[in-house]
Amino acid sequence: MRDLLDVYVNSALPCRFVAVAADRERLFTITELARDLGVTPRAIRFYESKGLLRPQRAGTTRVYDHRDRGRLLLILRGKRMGFSLAQVGQFLDLYDADPDQHQQLLHLLRGARHRIAALERQRHDLELTLAELRDVEAQCVAAMRERGIDTETEAAAERKLAIVKTPVKTHRRR
């Protein structure tokens, strides 16, 4: 009877609402979720072990709903922005506990501002380091020219050597 009621109620809704409702009811296996979001099942299990995800179980199989998928997207976004897993966990906890999201938004704003400040400091430090390295490079080139060493030939040989020695990193994404 419930299936008939769902069909009857959903048939009155525009198609996009039916699709959204179907997406909200969809369950994902760990492999499907990993493939969808470009991570490994091992990464998902790691986030689960840290308490960031709490999938349902169907026997021994983990099943994830739209909420778990959303939480994983937030975890990945937080990680990409440089937040620690503890910070991401605090944000997710606020999301669960604060229905109007007031505290969550304040926490996110504070975290974003701290992260921006840290990245600005890193950028400044990188600019200083690059300036120093460019100065060292210029001094080396000048010293080599004084000694009659062709800097372009030496630099080309160094680049070629670096290419041969550097292993190629490949990232497996599905």
**Residues 42-77 pLDDT 10s:** 999 999 999 999 999 888 888 999 999 999 999 999
Residue pLDDT, tens place only, 13-33: 443 433 444 566 789 999 999
Helix (H) / strand (E) element for 127: namely: helix 102-146
Domains of the chain: 1-85 (1.10.1660.10)
DSSP string covering 54-65, please?
--EEETTEEEE-
- Structure token pair of residue 125: 């430090």
User: What is the band of 161 on the pLDDT scale with cuts at 50, 70, 90?
Assistant: low
- Closest among 31, 38, 15 to 63, alpha carbons compared: 31
Percent of the chain whose predicted confidence (pLDDT) is above 90: 46
127-166 burial, b for 16+ CB within 10 Å, e for fewer?
eeeeeeeeeeeeeeeeeeeeeeeeeeeeeeeeeeeeeeee
Higher pLDDT: 87 or 17? It is: 87
pLDDT for 117-159, tens place per residue?
999 999 999 999 999 999 999 999 899 889 888 877 766 667 6
